[in-house]
Structure 1
Amino acid sequence: MISITARQLRAERQKIRHTKALLVPLGFLGFEILWTMWQLSSMKPSEFSQGYLMLFYNLPVMNTLLMPLMISVIASRVCDMEVKGDTLKILYTMQKQESFFDFKYLNCLRYITVFVIGQGLMILFFGTVNHLGTIRPSIFFIYLITTFAVSTVVLSIQQTLSLMSHSQLLPLGIGIGGSFLGLFSLFFPKPVARLVLWGYYANFSVVGMNWDPDTRIIDYYVLSFPLSRFLLFLAAGVFIYFICRMIVVKKEV
């Protein structure tokens, strides 16, 4: 069983070895590195004591804008070969439709993992170089876990759209729309904002901000993590995954 799984994963990697899909998460990560450098360069020395909290407040907002688009591009690059080449009927004679979806998903997940780990290393590097103080491990790991968890659910939807569409313009359009809808949802009332999947990158943030318009002083503070809501989100994510897989399996090829 393990050898079959390893062989199928290797086959998926071989399919996309010339697509340069790895450049997608690296490119988005490079953009966030430049943005973080700009953010830190605009801070006053007196503000560096809250530098880590500033990052954990602003990065989820950036993820809300960037990651839905990044995931849509990754899913498009990984799935486009089968859709464009119309080879699904041939593949399904050699591989179960369920496992085809699963291994495509795992392959896309590798690139998301690269991005999330890269973000974690970026935070630690800039924090050390700029002497931002002591990082709180709980906030750091909550940030990485929630970012990865939300991405897995978004990926389920984007991969399904990529496999169901003859043109990748629709999945990419949904990715762009999700980015802006997620960003705008941060201004919605909380009950409404919780209905927007793409906004959960920021909804699970455990850092809040107070801004005094008179003194123009920004103060960051730590929020309690909504564990029950996160567990409910994970359960909904598993449900969405199997619904998406069922839709692809029932597709006529």
Structure 2
Amino acid sequence: MRPLNTLIYLNYLIFPRRIRCLTMLAARLHGAYDLSVEDVKIPRIRKNWVLIKVDAVGICGTDKAFYKGTYRLFKKPLIPGHEICGKVVEVGKNVPKDILDKKVVTEINITCGKCWFCTHSLFTHCPYRETLGITVDGGMAEYVLTPYRNVHEVKLEPPLPGSNIAILGSGNIGLLSLQVLKLYSPLNTVVVVHKNSPKVIFTRKLKEDYVITFEEAMELKKKITPEGEGYDYVVEATVALKDCL
């Protein structure tokens, strides 16, 4: 056996959890309308980070703006994608091993965790913040590396038949959530919008009883849950909750 092959074989035996391939496929954006699928190195694990095998990644309006050149690229080439779902396949030495093989979603902001803003839970104000898929490589690849504190295990089961669900907001995320929830029939789903929003007219075209104002939602809650327990599930899809008030 040649020395290189021997080294790879030993690596397989000693580190069974380590990704054995050295490269992965990734979509890389070099400039406006210049996107290609390329072989790149798989990111090396860090002590407080996890490596995720990507199952799915959403295409955000930001990704579209980068592709069309509406937004300038902060990094060239860039692997875009910050709406990521996948399975943890490798962890750093400071990360609990029980997260391995778990399905997770990721946060977009990679923060220092030490500055005044981070220690006061104002993570989006961190002056040292990096942004997954925007200033650093993201999830439009076979694997993505992210801090352990940025992942959230996906534990929720599909809603039970007959559940009462409120979606706060009627933008892209709110309306896409409605379309997904309509697949889990029968459910009692409503979309809550601002009473003066022009979206009231537009979204009511989907189905008359799907779209209601905040005031109507409160009245409906009293009607369907007279003891005050409220909705079984709430999808928060607004920039700020005041948008629905």
Highest relative contact order (Cα 8 Å, sep 6+), 1 or 2? 1
Q: Which of the two has greater helix per residue? A: 1
Larger radius of gyration: 2
The TM-score, its normalising length taken from structure 2, stands at 0.24
Normalization by structure 1: what TM-score? 0.24
Greater fraction of residues in strand: 2
